Structure 1
Amino acid sequence: MSIIIKPIITEKITKESEVFNRFGFVVDRKANKIQIKNAIEAAYGVTVVNVNTMNVRPDRTTKYTKSGLISGKTNAFKKAIVQVQEGETIDFYNNI
């Protein structure tokens, strides 16, 4: 089971990483905080201080088009905000 799916790179998360050493990841929906902590430490070689998780609900939308009413939704996922130890960082832009 792959716990880390992908990192989240947005303006808000980037600002959090610069100021508070917090990084965001999309993780497996069945993973708990201990599994997420161990996976981040093994993958990036950093010491994790704190893990916050949240389940993001799917967004539903309805569009009125020429062919009629079209409804759809986005996928639900689990997001983890990981705080690493002071002085350590995770670099997403270099392939090591």
Structure 2
Amino acid sequence: LMKRFSVSVKSIRIVNVKRKPRQRFTRAGRVSGFTSSYKKAIVTLAEGDTLDFLENV
């Protein structure tokens, strides 16, 4: 991230997003399952640094 966007990273936190139960009703009946669990990275930039692609949104 530092090399690609030329910004200084203050901290990085990793969050484990747990799976959730989901149900779908079909002609054959109820199909139950889970969503996939995944990891989310929360990146805090140094004071005054911004990412270019966020400024245009």
TM-score interval (norm. to shorter): 0.7 to 0.9
Counterpart amino acid of residue 72 in structure 1: G
Unaligned runs of at least 5 residues, structure 1:
1-39
Identity of aligned residues (%): 35
| TM-score when normalising by structure 1 | 0.48
Query: What does residue 73 of structure 1 align with?
Result: 34
Larger helix percent: 1
Unaligned runs of at least 5 residues, structure 2:
none
Whether 1:50 aligns to 2:4 is: no
The structure with the largest alpha-carbon Rg is: 2
Query: What does residue 25 of structure 1 align with?
Result: none
Query: What does residue 44 of structure 2 align with?
Result: 83
**Paired residues, what number?**
55
Deviations 1:18-40 (A, max 9, x none): xxxxxxxxxxxxxxxxxxxxxx2
Deviations 1:5-51 (A, max 9, x none): xxxxxxxxxxxxxxxxxxxxxxxxxxxxxxxxxxx212211100111
| TM-score when normalising by structure 2 | 0.73
Helix, strand or coil at the partner of 2:52: coil
Larger strand percent: 2
RMSD: 1.9
Counterpart amino acid of residue 29 in structure 2: G
